[in-house]
A and B are shown apart, each in its own frame.
Chain A
Amino acid sequence: MKSLMLHSAGLAVGMFAVPLTSAPAVAQSSASVVSARASGMVGERFDGYLGYAATPSRGLRVQVDAINIQRRSLYISLARRRAVTPQDVGIATACQLFQRVSVGEPYMLNDGLWRRRGPGQPVPRPDYCG
């Protein structure tokens, strides 16, 4: 629990060093990230962030990182309003985002392994999601 608090403190500090991503940049990154996910490069992680299932190009990395930075600030602000940690919000968000994983798309559960949803397989649903 202590390490959890330290981690969230680090995230909170990091947020202030980052400018908000402009709307056109986010729209552009959305399209590439959606196609990167369909091709198995990028996937949702259990912690509510996007991760790399394969080594990304520099351009893709910039776009995914921009989305993750935006997510982090959203998690931090919701966490403050609900008196929980940003990690709690991230994990709760991942529970919902996992429901939208399409066939062929990669995802990472809390064992740290990348899997791909195969044809006919249900969406990933960790027990803790309730």
Chain B
Amino acid sequence: MIRTQRILAPIAAAVLLPALTGCISVKAPDKPIEINLNVVIRQEVLVRLQRDVEQLIQQNPGAFPTTPPQPPGSPQ
């Protein structure tokens, strides 16, 4: 029984440790999103998406910054 534990313990550690560190080290990838110039542009899809995209931009100013931030104290 003890012998089995001696054999199993390192195996268990080897399996569990990477799993644990894998959970902890969640971070953004270092590589930027790469440019793919070979995308197929489907005009009819783009036209259909225009309204959705307008909303997307308006509702997520953090992701689509345009104007400089308002000075502190000024109305939004």
Interface size on A, residues (CB 8 A): 56
Say how far B54's CB is from chain A's closest CB, in angstroms.
6
Q: Is B20 an interface residue (CB 8 A)?
A: no
Partner of B35, one of A67, A96, A112: A112
B residues in contact with A100, CB < 8 Å: 66
Contact of A31 with B68 in the complex, beta carbons under 8 Å: yes
Counting contact residues on chain B (CB < 8 A from A), the size range is 35 or more
The answer to whether A18 and B40 have CB atoms under 8 Å apart is: no
Of the residues A71, A95, A96, contact of B63 by C-beta under 8 Å:
A71
* A88 x B62 contact (CB < 8 A): no
Chain A residues lying within 8 Å of B69, measured Cβ to Cβ, are: 27, 30-31, 34
Having A49-B35, A84-B45, A93-B57, one finds 14 other A-B pairs with CB under 8 Å, namely A4-B40, A47-B35, A47-B36, A67-B62, A69-B33, A82-B52, A91-B41, A91-B46, A97-B57, A110-B37, A111-B37, A112-B37, A128-B41, A130-B50
Q: Using a CB–CB distance below 8 Å, which chain B residues touch chain A?
A: 26-29, 32-33, 35-43, 45-50, 52-54, 56-57, 60-69
Mark A residues whose CB is within 8 Å of B: 1, 3-4, 7, 11, 14, 17-19, 21, 23, 26-27, 29-31, 33-35, 45, 47, 49, 51-52, 61, 64-72, 74, 78, 81-82, 84, 87-89, 91-93, 95-97, 100, 108, 110-112, 128-130
